[in-house]
Structure 1
Amino acid sequence: MSSTVLVYGGAGALGASTVQYFKEQGWTAISVDVRSNADASSNVLVDANASVAEQAKHVVEQLETTLGDTRLDALLCVAGGWAGGRIDKLESLSNAELMWKQSVNSSLVAGHIASRYLKPNGLLVLTGAQAAKEGTSMVGYGLAKAAVHQLTASLASDASGLPSGARVAAILPVTLDTPGNRAGMPNADFSAWTPLNDINKKLFAWATHKEPVDNGKLVSVVTQNGETRFD
């Protein structure tokens, strides 16, 4: 029986590449997102306008059918987005709400799914941001990603409600090398952007226990001159 990964945000730029990479390694890859990913083994669609509890309930109900008695070897939450804005800009408050929905709510649902369907000793990865670790004027983005960092610590605690031996970590990228980012910043130094498969290879190494990851670790993802390191 093949191993199974659930990619929350599996139709986004990073998520779609993660689904593809794990499938190429022979895994079953389930996508959870607001839209379908045709490359996924199966899809669960969520309503972004539903409450976080409603989203979690819906996904759990769908997975009862999709998974049956199967349990997840890894759950990778790579959902999110970006919106800037300083506190003196009114639109920054709307952006903050959006960032919270995209990053925090998705991470909360992912954590709940992990409590129900992750195997003992399985892997749960959330997506934070290096900018939130260092401090940023991007109010909504920084707020949401800092909350994801705290959630990572909470889920890594002994009484978190996750299965025995579950490993929880967050990746903290700077800028991902995606078509959307290239279109939006055509004059940037792409050698400082992280290729998606650099992340996928690391996630796969953690998921297969080929490389260790400390429980609760916030893993900075830094690319310089085309070389990526995970600190």
Structure 2
Amino acid sequence: MSTPSVVIVTGAAGNAGSAAARLLAARGATVVAVDRAVEPLQALVGALAGSGHIVEAGVDLTDATACAAMAERVLASSGHIDGLVHTVGTFRAAPLSDTDDGLWDLMMTVNLKTTLNMARAVVPAMRKAGRGAIVSIAAGAALKAPSGLAAYAASKSAVIRLTESLADELKGDGITVNTVMPSTIDTPQNRAAMPDADTSKWVTPDQVAEVMAFLVSPGASGVTGAAVPITGRG
């Protein structure tokens, strides 16, 4: 029997993150569940298929040192890090007049900086092993930004450019780097924010998880530098 892949899932207590964690565990991976929340994360890991899953609660992903230390703990306990599914992100809509430095910094820090920090944290172990897969979440708005989403769209567009550059840099090391671009995800938060929307056109967290799980699987070893749309029927 082969050793199960070790996959770090950030934002694992969230909607897309928990869906990805459940799916990966059901397919035999050892999941390292990362989130700020403690109790929801422990409950998730307790319900995952299989055993040996790891809880990393309270890690500040905006802190590069904390990310690196977490990756080192995972490497010490598991021996390898095969994949990173990075689902951490945030969303704010605001017109130009309300896009102050605080909003801009929030979008760039949570959506872009955490992606960079986690990539830097896992790449050394992946380089040493000669293999690995990294996938993050951008957004459809990264390609065509509507009114009122300048800061959000700019940060998600930067995630795509980061993905492209890292993919080119790391392809010689056997590491793939990709991102996904969901349209509106069907979450309780989005339903509350848009009560009159046609949710039948939204994508589900499970649909997002399926694509991300594929991109960290051996079956996607030939795919790198891609920004994959996930639009459902929208």
- TM-score of the alignment, normalized to the shorter chain, above 0.5: yes
Q: Assess, with a 3 A threshold, how the Cα gap between structure 1 residues 220 and 51 changes in structure 2: closer, same or farther.
A: closer
Map 1:18-57; keep pairs closer than 5 Å: 18-36=20-38, 37-38=41-42, 39-40=44-45, 41-48=53-60, 52-57=63-68
How far residue 106 of structure 1 moved from its aligned partner, in angstroms, is 1.3
Is there any run of 5+ residues in structure 1 with no aligned partner, and where? 226-231
Where does residue 152 of structure 1 map in the other structure? 163
What is the letter of the counterpart of residue 144 of structure 2?
E
Q: Report the Cα distance in structure 1 between the residues aligned to 2:97 and 2:207, rounded to whole angstroms.
A: 37
Where does residue 215 of structure 2 map in the other structure? 206
TM-score by length of 1: 0.84
Map 1:168-207; keep pairs closer than 5 Å: 168-207=177-216
Is there any run of 5+ residues in structure 2 with no aligned partner, and where? 46-52
Q: State whether residues 133 and 216 of structure 2, in contact with CA within 8 Å, keep that contact through their aligned partners in structure 1.
A: yes
Aligned-residue identity in percent: 23
The higher relative CO (CA closer than 8 Å, separation ≥ 6) is in: 2
How far residue 191 of structure 1 moved from its aligned partner, in angstroms, is 1.4
How far residue 61 of structure 1 moved from its aligned partner, in angstroms, is 3.8
- Normalized per residue, which structure has more helix? 2
Map 1:34-113; keep pairs closer than 5 Å: 34-36=36-38, 37-38=41-42, 39-40=44-45, 41-48=53-60, 52-67=63-78, 69=79, 71-90=80-99, 92-113=100-121
121, 125, 135: which one pairs with 2:135? 125
TM-score by length of 2: 0.83
Q: State whether residues 149 and 170 of structure 1, in contact with CA within 8 Å, keep that contact through their aligned partners in structure 2.
A: yes
Greater mean alpha carbon deviation, residues 133-142 or residues 165-174: 133-142
Where does residue 228 of structure 1 map in the other structure? none
What is the number of equivalent residue pairs in this alignment? 219
How far residue 28 of structure 1 moved from its aligned partner, in angstroms, is 0.9
Which segments of structure 1 move beyond 4 Å, counting only runs of 4 or more? none
* RMSD between aligned residues: 2.3
Q: Does 1:13 align with 2:15?
A: yes
